Amino acid sequence: MGVEVWVPATTANLGPGFDCLGAALDFGNRFRFALRGAGEPVEVVGADLPADNLAYRAFALVYERLGQPVPPVTLTLELEVPLARGLGSSATAIVAGVLAAHRLLGEPLPETELLNWAVALEGHPDNVVPAWRGGCCLVCGVHVCSIPWHPDILPVLAIPEFTLSTAAARAVLPEQVPYHDAVTNLGALGCLLQGLKRGDPALLRQGLQDRLHQPYRRRLIPGYDQVEQAALAAGAYGVVISGAGPTLLALAAPAQATAVATAMAQAWQEVGVQATARVTRVSDKGAQVKS
């Protein structure tokens, strides 16, 4: 008996939407949980991960909370989302584990309760929620708003070879921010939501500004300034850090997207960082569970 879950990659924050805005992308990770006999060890196939990996810990959490013994599994992984690059790989694991266990237990709980467990495990909602539901999501307390995304706005990812842990990228954030910076972000987030809906370049340019996390994190990403400049010169609306980084995300019109991707990868190479760039899409497809 088993269950398979596919979960999309996500890009969180999108500049000013720190810890509250994220979007599902058109590629993802597949996790197959096949139950093993009691007493057998957990087996992981397809990636070099320990038995107590995040997907299995999320899976176990649901069994434990429902008072059931946690069964061993063979966990088979097909991973397309690079690890520790700011593209929601940990959210894919958490969502997959929670949804797989819930399906195997006969789906006794309301979705919102499970989603809350998944968010609590991750610590912030802006990858987990769009990974689960698909599309672009704004999360505020218990509310999830689906944010319209104009089809002519393409996310362009420049993914460097080096990794950056979310913990390290959160450790550089200050306890407090200047009042003016907080106010700037409020306006930018409003502009961004309108810009995403209308596909309006001027609103997007203004709306992709952030003062809450990027000023502190950009120094953790060698080549940030060069890659940003290259993307803007190639016609991007703006460049932000994808999630906690180090991937950089540009938003661009379809006519410019390929040139923006090439320019970003080249700029990184010129400062000695190998990077791959890809043009993606925001996808309405959230996590898919198959028994």
How many residues bind ligand HSE, per CB under 6 A?
13
- Does 19 bind ligand HSE (CB under 6 A)? Our answer is yes
Tell me whether residue 19 or residue 181 sits nearer to ligand HSE (CB atom): 19
Task: Please select the residue that binds ligand HSE; options are 3, 4, 5, 13, rule is CB under 6 A.
Answer: 13
Tell me whether residue 89 or residue 283 sits nearer to ligand HSE (CB atom): 89
State the nearest-atom distance from the C-beta of 40 to ligand HSE, in Å: 34
Tokens describing residue 84? 């520790």
Tell me whether residue 7 or residue 263 sits nearer to ligand HSE (CB atom): 7
Angle formed at CA 125 by CA 123 and CA 127, multiple of 5 degrees? 105
**For residue 140, what are the contacts with CB-CB under 8 A and spacing of at least 6?**
20
278 beta partners:
157
Alpha helix positions (H), 69-152? 89-104, 111-122, 128-133
- Does 16 bind ligand HSE (CB under 6 A)? Our answer is no
Tell me whether residue 127 or residue 206 sits nearer to ligand HSE (CB atom): 127
Tell me whether residue 103 or residue 213 sits nearer to ligand HSE (CB atom): 213
Interface pattern 160-199 for ligand HSE (x via CB under 6 A): ------x--xx-----------------------------
CB 131 within 8 A of CB 286: yes
- Does 102 bind ligand HSE (CB under 6 A)? Our answer is no
Phi-psi category of residue 245: left, alpha or beta, with phi > 0 → left and psi -120 to 50 → alpha: left
Tell me whether residue 243 or residue 246 sits nearer to ligand HSE (CB atom): 243
34 burial via Cβ count (<10 Å: 0-12, 13-18, 19+):
middle
Please state, in angstroms and rounded to a whole number, the distance separating the CA atoms of residues 46 and 56: 14
Q: Work out the angle between the directed axes of helices 111-122 and 89-104 (0-180°, nearest 10).
A: 140
What's the farthest any 2 CA atoms get from each other in the chain? 60
Instruction: Please identify, among the stretches 10-18, 28-36, 77-85, 250-258, the one whose residues bind ligand HSE according to the rule CB under 6 A.
Output: 10-18
Binding site for ligand HSE (CB under 6 A): 12-13, 18-19, 124, 126-127, 166, 169-170, 213, 243-244
